Chains A and B, each alone.
Chain A
């Protein structure tokens, strides 16, 4: 008996090893593709970011080592006031847009949890901005905020005399216009995600709380919100990451201007890529941003995991 079993085991092990090998071979093309898609660009960036390479130098990118400058790009970046200005504006836009989008989205989601006449139509209407191509949204708000545009005309009706505010030429108002456009376009996403979360809060737990005498507010803060924590973190993380990359609407509306008043990281990168052509430096910025965003994501994922463990 013993010999029998051991033979079978050896055979099985061999077969298992062969199977594992076969599996490796079969998945190899896909694995290589993944490596090519994910790893190669990052390694290339890292390589370029350590050189002074520019397309104007007339040498191929793989020979960029001839222009090796170690961490000079990174030290330049640390001292680049235009870059830090762009970072500051990016965070300012984020600090206003994300909380406003969150609160509006949550408010709408609360309204849409219960059925009411016309809910389905309104629901579809509310999701439209999200589906508009950002460049088109940019054009729309560019047009709306012209000094002779609809926003000023509407204001004129309210105040009773012609208003001619140059929204997009004033540094503060331009920023305001861009924030309005972003909130218009991305509140629906927040609404959609939060509504899904809100619907997922167990009905019977809310009823149990009601039967125990809890008011709506108490239920909301003790049952609904704690149960939505994971999805709230996801929604905020999505918008923080997306908002950090804000570019298309903004570029069409103000081109980063007036001056650098609405210049965000993405606009700055665009400018140094297309106008200054210092690609080694661009690579350094790109990597720095990638690292920051990855840290944000890791932080969010850890937060969600801990919430899930808790509940």
Chain B
């Protein structure tokens, strides 16, 4: 139960920068997901928090105490590895007892703790089984139990669900979230799966190319992405981004989307933020924030219709870089080759700077 502070944290491997200038404070008892594609620096961050890697720059502190010279055995960090790193040559009981024994607890205390944690995690019936042949969900519980038994201040989980199939993942997500509620520990969860991050985390830290791009609650990150990367990465499918140009007429300012029509009015707050003089802007909207409307100002040819059950996903415009919108099955859906005409509620429109990719804040 500890607050973690990362200050200007960076890591270089030779000339390769795996992480740079990471600033993040994780509150006591908070569940934070580090989310990003492979190679974004999320595991590097995690390994530095655990003490497996030394930072090249910056510092890590737990409750204000600098961890620079604290070896990993003394950090009080529970780590759940991607493949669980269960000691398969030992029984479940020996696995659970490993930490307490290593820390020199008496055998009565060890037995008591093993019994407690085993009943909490429903491992009681298999304490004397060899851990080698156990199923994945039991291995996961065992891995968590083995770390939890020594009451670490912090729990770090490195993609613990990446080895299981989709159906099982849903079960384990719920289980993991419940376990976190039971232990009330600070948890840092590394994943490349946005669904895991969205469903479990209190806050999500989105990373790419060794940089922290945005930190926020799942809904904040979803609704108000800080830049085009986050906008595309979060959501399935991600946010639609279209190159546009600001066009001013007498009354209103619109964004001209060329053959797709135009949208407006563009809020003054956005116009104020716009730095480039040529008026170029990236226009973004979520696929589900669309209303089919025969008077709508946006028109795009349908090149593919994907039925996904309750809703239908339409691929519009350029087949190689298509705009995706989801529409309800209850209304007539345009067919392939037809033109979809629609509107977007003004509060759902997002604008990004084409040079920096950063959002131009103007949300209603």
- Count the A residues whose beta carbon is within 8 Å of the partner chain — how many? 19
Given the known interface contacts A310-B130, A311-B132, the answer about A213 and B103 at a Cβ–Cβ threshold of 8 Å is yes
Asked if A311 and B98 make an inter-chain contact with CB atoms under 8 angstroms apart, the answer reads: no
Assess whether A213 is in contact with B102, with CB atoms less than 8 Å apart: yes
Complex Cα–Cα for A274 and B98 (A): 61
Check A210 against B89 for contact (C-beta < 8 Å): no
Q: Is the CB of B102 within 8 A of A311?
A: no
A215 to chain B, nearest CB (A): 7
**B308 contacts partner chain A, Cβ-Cβ < 8 Å:** no
Interface size class of B (residues with CB under 8 A): 20 to 34
Which of B83-98 touch A at CB < 8 Å? 83, 85-89, 98
Q: Say which one of B71-79, B192-200, B239-247, B284-292 lies at the interface with A.
A: B71-79
A209 near B: Cβ within 8 Å?
yes
* A311 neighbours in B (Cβ, 8 Å): 88-89, 132
Contact with B along A201-230 (1 / 0, CB 8 A): 010110111111111001000110011000
When distances are taken between beta carbons in the complex, the residues of chain A under 8 Å from B86 are: 205
B72 touches A210 (CB 8 A): yes
* Contact B102–A209 (Cβ < 8 Å): yes
Knowing A207-B52, A310-B130, the reply to whether A212 touches B89 (Cβ < 8 A) is no
Known contacts A218-B102, A222-B98, A211 near B89 by CB under 8 Å: no
Residues 28-52 of B, flagged 1 when their CB comes within 8 A of A and 0 if not, give: 0000000000000000000000101
User: Is B147 at the interface (CB under 8 A from chain A)?
Assistant: yes
- Shortest beta-carbon distance, B187 to chain A, in Å? 15
Asked whether B99 is an interface residue with its Cβ less than 8 Å from the other chain, the reply is: yes
B150 is an interface residue with CB less than 8 A from chain A: yes
Asked whether, in the complex, the Cβ of A208 is within 8 Å of the Cβ of B85, the reply is yes
Q: Given A213-B73, A311-B88, verify A208-B79 contact (CB < 8 Å).
A: yes
A76 to chain B, nearest CB (A): 49
B102 near A208 with CB under 8 A, answer no
Contacts of B280 in A (CB 8 A): none
Kindly supply a per-residue 1/0 record for chain B positions 128-160, scoring 1 wherever the CB is within 8 Å of any chain A CB and 0 otherwise.
001010000000000000110010000000000
Bound Cα distance from A307 to B137, whole angstroms? 26
User: Please, how many angstroms separate the alpha-carbon atoms of A212 and B146 in the complex?
Assistant: 8
Q: Do A205 and B102 contact each other (CB < 8 Å), given the known contacts A211-B77, A212-B147?
A: no
Give A165-202 interface residues, CB cut-off 8 Å to B.
202
Distance between Cα atoms of A310 and B89 in the complex (Å): 7
User: Chain B's nearest CB lies how many Å from the CB of A223?
Assistant: 6
Expressed in whole angstroms, the minimum distance between the Cβ of B136 and any Cβ of chain A is 16
Contacts of A214 in B (CB 8 A): 73, 98, 102
| B98 and A211 contacting across the interface, CB-CB below 8 Å | no
Cβ of B101 to closest chain A Cβ, rounded Å: 8
Query: Judging by beta carbons under 8 Å apart, are B79 and A211 in contact?
Result: yes
Known A205-B85, A311-B88; contact A212-B99, beta-carbon cutoff 8 A: yes
Q: Which residues in chain A, 217-256, are within 8 Å of chain B measured between CB atoms?
A: 218, 222-223, 226-227
By beta carbon, the residue of chain A nearest B94 is A222
Q: Which of A204, A215, A222 contacts B83 (CB 8 A)?
A: A204
Q: Is A215 a contact partner of B102 (Cβ separation < 8 A)? A: yes
CA distance A118 to B9 in the complex (A): 32
| Chain B neighbourhood of A222, CB < 8 A | 87, 98
- Residues on B lying within 8 angstroms of A by beta carbon are 50, 52, 72-75, 77-79, 81-83, 85-89, 98-99, 102-103, 130, 132, 146-147, 150
Sorted from nearest, which 5 A-B pairs have the closest CB atoms? A212-B99, A204-B85, A214-B102, A208-B85, A311-B89
- A–B pairs, 15, beta carbons within 8 Å: A204-B85, A205-B85, A205-B86, A205-B87, A208-B87, A209-B98, A210-B72, A210-B73, A212-B103, A212-B150, A214-B98, A214-B102, A218-B102, A222-B87, A311-B88
A interface with B by C-beta (< 8 Å): 202, 204-205, 207-215, 218, 222-223, 226-227, 310-311
Given contacts A211-B72, A213-B99, A226-B89, 12 further A-B contacts (CB under 8 A): A202-B85, A204-B82, A204-B85, A208-B81, A210-B72, A210-B73, A211-B79, A211-B147, A213-B73, A214-B98, A215-B73, A222-B98
